[in-house]
């Protein structure tokens, strides 16, 4: 069931895996990035989700101030909302891949991140959780 859809992101509830799925479609402003992540939390609260799958293959840029916001605001808020597991499909861009790996390292005590190369791999990991 689609929860939120814009040209830069689609967020939906996956009943089979009982997970929020976030598919990034391309460039986002800081405002759009923060809106997308806030909508992810809203969807998680609505369905009492513990798991999330983020498809970052088309994620273009995470600016330093957005990275700081994700670390200091979003991840703690997502953990308080109930998320315990996040499967991330990594982007092809090596710099963005490093940023996402770093984010997971800093927040490992709050949420268990698992990095994947494909949607199938991410969904399979979530199914086992």
The stretches of the chain forming alpha helices (DSSP H) are: 30-47, 64-69, 75-81, 94-107, 119-128
Scanning the structure block, which residue is given the tokens 């940023």?
99
CATH number, domain of 46, equals 3.40.525.10
pLDDT at position 120, please? 95
Number of helices (H), then strands (E), belonging to the chain: the values are 5, 6
pLDDT in tens, 56-111: 999 877 888 998 898 899 999 999 999 999 999 988 766 666 666 666 565 667 89
> Domain residues for 106?
2-128
Report the number of distinct structural domains present in the chain: 1
- What pTM did the predictor assign? 0.90
Q: Are 32 and 6 in contact (CB under 8 A)?
A: yes
Distance CA 54, CA 2 (A): 14
């Amino acid at each position: 069931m689609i929860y939120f859809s814009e040209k830069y992101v689609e967020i939906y509830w996956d009943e089979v895996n009982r997970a929020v799925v976030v598919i990034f479609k391309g460039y986002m402003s800081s405002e759009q990035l923060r809106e997308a992540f806030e909508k992810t939390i809203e969807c998680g609260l609505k369905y009492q989700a513990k798991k999330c799958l983020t498809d970052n293959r088309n994620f273009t840029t995470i600016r330093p101030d957005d990275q700081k916001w994700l670390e200091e605001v979003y991840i703690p808020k997502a953990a308080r909302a109930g998320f315990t597991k996040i499967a991330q499909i990594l982007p092809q861009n090596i710099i963005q891949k490093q940023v996402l790996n770093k984010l997971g390292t800093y927040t490992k005590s709050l949420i268990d991140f698992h990095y994947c190369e494909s949607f199938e791999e991410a969904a399979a990991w979530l199914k086992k959780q």
